[in-house]
Structure 1
């Protein structure tokens, strides 16, 4: 793809020689080779190759063209290649447009640009270049249902996973008004999630695709629970695909998502922040009902597998969740509570089979989507919805085992020997892809790889895995308390681009040094004092223990000021009033 940047417009030309022109002055958009011309007196500032066009962002100083310079092929679904986005750039319409706003606004805009770059350059975004013929935001079953309707991509794309829809708003508007197929070629949805493919014997392809819901997207402690529209945090649709050929394949879908109640767990320097509940039972029942109704409409029957503890703060949360589901009185929704930590204590992960035995009738009844020689043989009529407290570590372990259970049936239907699954090569592919998937989904939400992932990767827990879990837990503690404010704002800025009044945004970093800086200064001064004036060993121990005790007391007293808080994302304003369970 080629991009020409002039003082009057952007001219983009794709591999099919289709041309998209964006006028800088009035932001008008034109499609067609007849617009590919440079006017007299028009200056070309840059002409370069790019890999793709994401859309147009409107920030404080004006508009920015969002493109990416590079991409990596990561898979192929029914002959349609899927790519991972790399090297994203935001190109200003005018070189000096930031000079038109105030100095504080310039600083804020640089931070906004950095947030968007950080998110889009995370290597967590994917796309299918052939979006006119194949919609990667849809599962194979949904796509099979709608593909013959010959609708344009902007109409078929699942809005939950169409992350750049707002940024393509002008192009979509042109497509709607002109019904021009050439315009649709410039509407390429991108989604956040995970894609990886492994090949067995050069003919059987195993692909895992996860699509993250952009509604209520964010970080581990700042986004929990549900909103008033029924959207839950860390909501991910995961599809496992087995392909023999373009017309013989199967697909199995699961979802994960936060407990669908109004609750929060904002970081406060404690290892496990207190769970806070909001709203009356009635206020919680409505969005919970919306959530499960949406799942029923999209997927059919739902088995809600709850993996949290039956003790402590998780107990109250689990009880409220169980009551909410039972109050639905829905034949399409079933609740199963499996206390993962209790049942699998002392690394007895073989006991997960107890859960599998409980839900196996649902897995078998729901079936999976299967197409043989172009003809639909079976459809998936329901899903397993899994959650733990974070919907990461326990959830990934259980999802991998559930999908493994379904995989045997898929291989039988595809006329492949079940022994293929026990083949070391294929078994290794399956475990590694699911472990990579667990790490990626965890990185997006918590900032670190998944815990308990050694079991997913090797089939057993190990001392090395436990040590890695400890390292990741410490890293999570640091990131969730001291880095997640800006990460949360990055998610919120990108997904609510048109809803935020950026002019009122307090520029990040303007409040001075981090509180941690002052703590380190105090510790340094204390060390200098201790070194300069040697004291008795016992007195030395008392001195350091006392100092650390005082610092801890101060830290927890002013914890809300110490943790890194988001400034764009509204914290409690979206919740009803607090309550105790």
Structure 2
């Protein structure tokens, strides 16, 4: 058994468009698309091509809601997929998690989402390799997203993985009840730990639970912690990421010119491009004369 291996790959990732969450984020999510659909299309196409090249057939599982800022992002995601060349061979399963399965109601996932997913995971198959098993390949993967790819995505992916686990154990010849129960128990503990660790990386707090009164109290405290973290500390983290990816160019003379001449998103290009854009500013700048009229302010004292 030590030489026998089985796996099932799932993908999680935020909506592959250029978007951001500006301003204070308290309660509902405020979202803004940075580019139109046509400008998003090339990056989206490269993203999907890379996933297909590495993982095979893709099925998008979209867990976004249908209200507020999420609805804007949700609609844009659907339009971008439907207008792309991937629409024919990349199904999208839309499941408003907050509406149908809020609080991690697994019976809702079982009744509403499982039938839609099962057809695809049976088509994908699982990977197995070893001396005592027949070699098999996984031919596709679920690409799953909510807004931040944390609690909702974690809940659905763990649900799918538990379903697949039973097939994996059977493929390895480990289908006795006692062994299955031990694997399931260990699996749940591992996946819970995985969810908490991912949540700490992205939000600074453990994952939300929401299943009972004590869990809801913990969720409330964690939500407050996340709000503080996202509104007051995430910007510094983003600057650090930009520094690692692009280098320290903010102290350069041309960076100051770039800040005055261009939108803030243009500062995310590489330093060499930013320098060239600043030096060639007159090639794409037009000047117009403006007339100004003097305004007289009359102040009356009573």
TM-score (norm. length: structure 1): 0.42
Could you say which residue in structure 2 is the equivalent of 1:467? 217
Q: Please say if residues 446 and 480 of structure 1, whose CA atoms lie closer than 8 Å, have aligned partners that are also in contact.
A: yes
Task: List structure 1 segments (4+ residues) > 6 angstroms apart after TM superposition.
Answer: none
Distance 1:270 1:346, change over 3 A: closer
Of the three residues 295, 298, 311, the one matched with 2:51 is 295
Distance 1:420 1:404, change over 3 A: farther
Distance 1:358 1:503, change over 3 A: closer
Whole-Å separation in 2 of the counterparts to 1:257 and 1:321: 13
Q: Secondary structure at the match of 1:450?
A: coil
Q: Secondary structure at the match of 1:310?
A: coil
Could you say which residue in structure 2 is the equivalent of 1:444? 201
Of the three residues 262, 265, 270, the one matched with 1:572 is 265
- Is 1:263 the counterpart of 2:19 in the alignment? yes
Answer 1 or 2: which has greater helix percent. Answer: 2
Distance 1:450 1:345, change over 3 A: closer
Alignment of 1:326-475 (within 5 A): 326-330=82-86, 331-345=88-102, 348-353=105-110, 354-373=112-131, 377-417=135-175, 419-420=177-178, 422-423=180-181, 425-452=182-209, 461-475=211-225
- Is 1:504 the counterpart of 2:263 in the alignment? no
Q: Which stretch shows the higher mean deviation, 251-260 or 273-282?
A: 273-282
Q: Secondary structure at the match of 2:8?
A: strand
Distance 1:335 1:421, change over 3 A: farther
Q: Please say if residues 370 and 378 of structure 1, whose CA atoms lie closer than 8 Å, have aligned partners that are also in contact.
A: yes
Answer 1 or 2: which has greater strand percent. Answer: 1
Whole-Å separation in 2 of the counterparts to 1:266 and 1:571: 13
Could you say which residue in structure 2 is the equivalent of 1:30? none
Q: Secondary structure at the match of 2:65?
A: coil
Q: Which runs of 5+ in 2 are unaligned?
A: 253-262, 269-302
Give 1:319 shift: 1.5
Whole-Å separation in 1 of the counterparts to 2:93 and 2:126: 21
Question: RMSD value over aligned CA atoms?
Answer: 2.5
Give 1:358 shift: 0.4
Give 1:471 shift: 0.8
Distance 1:418 1:380, change over 3 A: farther
Of the three residues 285, 288, 312, the one matched with 2:68 is 312
Q: Which runs of 5+ in 1 are unaligned?
A: 1-243, 455-460, 506-569, 576-581
Q: Please say if residues 174 and 180 of structure 2, whose CA atoms lie closer than 8 Å, have aligned partners that are also in contact.
A: no
Aligned residues: 257
Q: Please say if residues 306 and 388 of structure 1, whose CA atoms lie closer than 8 Å, have aligned partners that are also in contact.
A: yes
Deviations 1:549-577 (A, max 9, x none): xxxxxxxxxxxxxxxxxxxxx963378xx
Of the three residues 242, 246, 249, the one matched with 2:5 is 249
- Is 1:477 the counterpart of 2:220 in the alignment? no
